[in-house]
A and B are shown apart, each in its own frame.
Chain A
Amino acid sequence: NAGVMQNPRHLVRRRGQEARLRCSPMKGHSHVYWYRQLPEEGLKFMVYLQKENIIDESGMPKERFSAEFPKEGPSILRIQQVVRGDSAAYFCASSPRDVSDTQYFGPGTRLTVL
């Protein structure tokens, strides 16, 4: 059973460009969470989604960041007009349908903004 998959693993963007990060949850998991890890800091919650629904986006910056989890396909975290401060590791986690307290993490996408 494949784990949580994220791609790309590494992403380099110049300031002002868009970054798209993808996450495919574990088979049978319908809950997806996105977290950001800045250097020397712990993981910070960003957003929680179920299929076609945003459940909690209290950790998302108000501008430039958006997330979706369509009926078909992976969850997408989109960052528009990236700035150097967006450079971080972005992790996706998934959990089973009715047991949201056990979250399994993907390998992360490391975003570098030049």
Chain B
Amino acid sequence: QKEVEQDPGPLSVPEGAIVSLNCTYSNSAFQYFMWYRQYSRKGPELLMYTYSSGNKEDGRFTAQVDKSSKYISLFIRDSQPSDSATYLCAMSEGSTGTASKLTFGTGTRLQVTL
């Protein structure tokens, strides 16, 4: 069993839709949770970073963490064609030392159509 599970998609939605992306994890030691966006043949771009359970909002993006269920989500409101990319969840056990390495999901490919 992988430490982090993420549906690879592809997920196709019309412009303006609300997108929900999810990851589950098995390692209860994970404390820090991130979402990255990766365009084709580019490096991952940090979108959201959260530590505690609950919601964090930044513009059209909302990250949600439920540590009791080992489940994290990213919501994108009013999706745009420019949001078409692969979305990677990532997590770590700590912020310093050997615990700071990131464990990634395999990524969900999102396509927003006109």
- A residues within 8 Å of B by Cβ? 4, 31, 33, 35, 40-45, 48, 55-56, 58-59, 91, 93, 95, 98-108, 110
Chain B contact residues: helix, strand, loop or mixed: mixed
Pick the contact of B49 from A45, A102, A105 — CB < 8 Å? A102
A91 x B44 contact (CB < 8 A): yes
Distance of A65 from chain B, by nearest CB (Å): 16
- B residues within 8 Å of A by Cβ? 4, 6, 8, 32, 34, 36, 41-46, 49, 88, 90, 92, 94-98, 100-107
Question: Using Cβ atoms and an 8 Å threshold, which residues of chain B touch A101?
Answer: 32, 34, 49, 92, 94-95, 100
B98 x A43 contact (CB < 8 A): no
Question: Using Cβ atoms and an 8 Å threshold, which residues of chain B touch A58?
Answer: 98, 101
Nearest chain-A residue to B6 (Cβ)?
A42
Distance of B20 from chain A, by nearest CB (Å): 19
A45 x B101 contact (CB < 8 A): yes
Distance of A51 from chain B, by nearest CB (Å): 15
Given contacts A45-B103, A48-B100, A102-B46, 16 further A-B contacts (CB under 8 A): A33-B102, A35-B104, A40-B106, A42-B107, A43-B102, A45-B101, A48-B101, A56-B101, A91-B43, A91-B44, A101-B32, A103-B102, A104-B46, A105-B43, A107-B43, A110-B41
